[in-house]
Amino acid sequence: YALPAKLLLQNRRRAWRYDLEEVGGGPAEAIATITRYIVKDQVFFTTGSLATTPFQAVMPVITKYKVPHLETLASTSWLSDYFNPYLFRPGPMNHWYAAELQVDFAMEQFKPTRVGIFNITAGWGVQSKDAMALRLKSKWGIEPVEVATASWDATDVSAQVLKLKAANPDVVLYVG
Protein backbone atom coordinates (compact mmCIF):
# COMPACT_ATOMS: atom_id res chain seq x y z
CA TYR A 1 0.00 0.00 0.00
CA ALA A 2 3.03 2.28 -0.15
CA LEU A 3 2.47 3.24 -3.81
CA PRO A 4 -1.08 4.63 -3.33
CA ALA A 5 0.03 6.48 -0.19
CA LYS A 6 2.97 8.01 -2.06
CA LEU A 7 0.72 9.09 -4.95
CA LEU A 8 -1.81 10.62 -2.60
CA LEU A 9 0.91 12.62 -0.86
CA GLN A 10 2.47 13.74 -4.15
CA ASN A 11 -0.93 14.91 -5.39
CA ARG A 12 -2.30 16.39 -2.17
CA ARG A 13 -2.49 19.90 -3.62
CA ARG A 14 -4.10 18.72 -6.83
CA ALA A 15 -7.85 19.19 -7.27
CA TRP A 16 -9.71 16.03 -6.28
CA ARG A 17 -12.81 14.62 -7.84
CA TYR A 18 -14.68 11.42 -7.14
CA ASP A 19 -16.71 10.06 -10.05
CA LEU A 20 -19.16 7.22 -9.72
CA GLU A 21 -20.05 5.58 -13.00
CA GLU A 22 -22.00 2.42 -13.75
CA VAL A 23 -20.21 0.38 -16.41
CA GLY A 24 -22.97 -2.14 -16.96
CA GLY A 25 -21.00 -5.08 -15.67
CA GLY A 26 -19.48 -5.92 -19.03
CA PRO A 27 -15.77 -6.12 -19.87
CA ALA A 28 -15.97 -3.84 -22.94
CA GLU A 29 -17.73 -1.07 -21.01
CA ALA A 30 -15.25 -1.37 -18.13
CA ILE A 31 -12.24 -1.12 -20.48
CA ALA A 32 -13.70 1.93 -22.25
CA THR A 33 -14.50 3.67 -18.96
CA ILE A 34 -11.16 3.05 -17.24
CA THR A 35 -9.24 3.98 -20.40
CA ARG A 36 -11.17 7.25 -20.67
CA TYR A 37 -10.45 8.13 -17.05
CA ILE A 38 -6.75 7.37 -17.41
CA VAL A 39 -6.07 8.79 -20.88
CA LYS A 40 -8.53 11.68 -21.22
CA ASP A 41 -9.02 12.73 -17.58
CA GLN A 42 -5.45 11.83 -16.57
CA VAL A 43 -6.37 10.37 -13.20
CA PHE A 44 -3.49 9.24 -11.00
CA PHE A 45 -5.44 6.65 -8.99
CA THR A 46 -8.61 4.63 -9.54
CA THR A 47 -10.87 2.74 -7.22
CA GLY A 48 -14.04 0.88 -7.73
CA SER A 49 -16.12 -2.16 -7.21
CA LEU A 50 -15.91 -4.01 -10.48
CA ALA A 51 -17.11 -7.57 -10.68
CA THR A 52 -14.46 -10.17 -11.48
CA THR A 53 -15.12 -10.43 -15.23
CA PRO A 54 -14.82 -6.70 -16.04
CA PHE A 55 -11.97 -6.31 -13.59
CA GLN A 56 -9.95 -9.03 -15.30
CA ALA A 57 -10.49 -7.11 -18.54
CA VAL A 58 -9.21 -3.76 -17.17
CA MET A 59 -6.11 -5.13 -15.42
CA PRO A 60 -3.95 -4.82 -18.58
CA VAL A 61 -5.06 -1.18 -18.98
CA ILE A 62 -4.24 -0.32 -15.37
CA THR A 63 -0.86 -2.04 -15.68
CA LYS A 64 -0.04 -0.46 -19.07
CA TYR A 65 -0.59 3.07 -17.78
CA LYS A 66 0.86 2.32 -14.31
CA VAL A 67 -2.16 3.72 -12.51
CA PRO A 68 -2.81 2.12 -9.11
CA HIS A 69 -6.26 0.69 -8.53
CA LEU A 70 -7.95 -0.12 -5.23
CA GLU A 71 -10.43 -2.89 -6.00
CA THR A 72 -13.19 -3.28 -3.45
CA LEU A 73 -15.33 -6.01 -5.00
CA ALA A 74 -13.55 -8.46 -7.29
CA SER A 75 -12.07 -11.18 -5.13
CA THR A 76 -11.20 -14.03 -7.41
CA SER A 77 -8.04 -15.85 -6.42
CA TRP A 78 -6.83 -15.13 -9.97
CA LEU A 79 -5.99 -11.60 -8.83
CA SER A 80 -3.42 -12.93 -6.40
CA ASP A 81 -1.87 -15.54 -8.69
CA TYR A 82 0.81 -13.03 -9.64
CA PHE A 83 2.18 -9.84 -8.16
CA ASN A 84 0.93 -6.59 -9.66
CA PRO A 85 2.26 -3.39 -8.04
CA TYR A 86 -0.79 -1.45 -9.28
CA LEU A 87 -3.48 -3.61 -7.69
CA PHE A 88 -4.62 -3.26 -4.09
CA ARG A 89 -7.44 -5.23 -2.47
CA PRO A 90 -8.71 -4.92 1.08
CA GLY A 91 -11.11 -7.89 0.99
CA PRO A 92 -10.89 -11.64 1.44
CA MET A 93 -10.38 -14.17 -1.32
CA ASN A 94 -13.30 -16.19 -2.67
CA HIS A 95 -12.49 -19.40 -0.92
CA TRP A 96 -12.23 -17.72 2.50
CA TYR A 97 -15.63 -16.11 2.19
CA ALA A 98 -17.43 -18.92 0.42
CA ALA A 99 -16.02 -21.88 2.26
CA GLU A 100 -15.27 -20.73 5.74
CA LEU A 101 -17.97 -18.14 6.25
CA GLN A 102 -20.94 -19.04 4.09
CA VAL A 103 -20.74 -22.85 4.26
CA ASP A 104 -19.92 -23.04 7.95
CA PHE A 105 -22.62 -20.52 8.84
CA ALA A 106 -25.28 -22.42 6.90
CA MET A 107 -24.22 -25.77 8.32
CA GLU A 108 -24.07 -24.54 11.92
CA GLN A 109 -27.26 -22.48 11.83
CA PHE A 110 -29.56 -24.64 9.72
CA LYS A 111 -27.99 -28.10 10.13
CA PRO A 112 -28.99 -29.25 6.62
CA THR A 113 -28.41 -32.75 5.34
CA ARG A 114 -29.04 -31.78 1.72
CA VAL A 115 -27.22 -28.76 0.28
CA GLY A 116 -27.49 -27.23 -3.18
CA ILE A 117 -25.15 -24.69 -4.74
CA PHE A 118 -26.11 -22.01 -7.26
CA ASN A 119 -23.32 -20.04 -8.92
CA ILE A 120 -22.53 -17.85 -11.90
CA THR A 121 -19.77 -18.36 -14.48
CA ALA A 122 -17.59 -15.38 -13.52
CA GLY A 123 -14.39 -16.01 -11.55
CA TRP A 124 -16.09 -15.34 -8.21
CA GLY A 125 -18.86 -17.84 -8.83
CA VAL A 126 -16.68 -20.61 -10.27
CA GLN A 127 -13.96 -20.50 -7.62
CA SER A 128 -16.45 -20.09 -4.79
CA LYS A 129 -18.55 -23.03 -6.00
CA ASP A 130 -15.48 -25.26 -5.98
CA ALA A 131 -14.42 -24.01 -2.55
CA MET A 132 -17.92 -24.58 -1.16
CA ALA A 133 -18.09 -28.15 -2.48
CA LEU A 134 -14.65 -28.90 -1.03
CA ARG A 135 -15.55 -27.42 2.36
CA LEU A 136 -18.85 -29.33 2.48
CA LYS A 137 -17.02 -32.58 1.85
CA SER A 138 -13.87 -32.04 3.93
CA LYS A 139 -15.42 -30.51 7.06
CA TRP A 140 -19.05 -31.62 6.98
CA GLY A 141 -18.80 -34.94 5.11
CA ILE A 142 -21.52 -34.22 2.54
CA GLU A 143 -21.66 -33.67 -1.21
CA PRO A 144 -23.96 -31.08 -2.79
CA VAL A 145 -27.20 -32.68 -4.01
CA GLU A 146 -27.16 -30.30 -6.99
CA VAL A 147 -24.92 -27.62 -8.44
CA ALA A 148 -26.69 -25.21 -10.80
CA THR A 149 -24.70 -22.73 -12.85
CA ALA A 150 -25.83 -19.67 -14.79
CA SER A 151 -23.92 -17.36 -17.12
CA TRP A 152 -22.70 -14.17 -15.47
CA ASP A 153 -24.93 -12.13 -17.81
CA ALA A 154 -28.02 -14.35 -17.65
CA THR A 155 -31.40 -12.62 -17.47
CA ASP A 156 -33.41 -15.78 -16.86
CA VAL A 157 -32.31 -18.44 -14.36
CA SER A 158 -35.58 -20.36 -14.27
CA ALA A 159 -33.98 -23.59 -15.50
CA GLN A 160 -31.37 -23.49 -12.74
CA VAL A 161 -33.96 -22.77 -10.07
CA LEU A 162 -36.12 -25.67 -11.25
CA LYS A 163 -33.08 -27.96 -11.28
CA LEU A 164 -32.30 -27.02 -7.69
CA LYS A 165 -35.91 -27.35 -6.63
CA ALA A 166 -36.09 -30.88 -8.10
CA ALA A 167 -33.05 -31.91 -6.00
CA ASN A 168 -34.96 -30.88 -2.85
CA PRO A 169 -32.10 -29.31 -0.86
CA ASP A 170 -32.60 -28.06 2.70
CA VAL A 171 -30.36 -25.07 1.92
CA VAL A 172 -29.09 -23.46 -1.29
CA LEU A 173 -25.75 -21.65 -1.13
CA TYR A 174 -25.47 -18.86 -3.71
CA VAL A 175 -22.37 -17.21 -5.12
CA GLY A 176 -22.61 -14.75 -7.94
The whole model's pTM is what?
0.59
Q: For the chain, what is the mean pLDDT? A: 82
Q: Which of 81, 107, 79, 75 is nearest to 175 (CA)?
A: 75
What average pLDDT does this structure show over 38-58?
80
**In sequence order, what are the beta bridge partners of 44?**
none
Judged against a pLDDT cut of 50, whether residue 1 lies above it is answered with no
Cα separation of 6 and 159, whole Å? 50
pLDDT tier, 125 (very low <50, low <70, confident <90, very high otherwise): confident
Q: Which residue has the higher pLDDT, 161 or 69?
A: 161
Q: Could you tell me which residues come within 8 angstroms of residue 101 by beta carbon, excluding any fewer than 6 positions away?
A: none
Judged against a pLDDT cut of 70, whether residue 71 lies above it is answered with yes
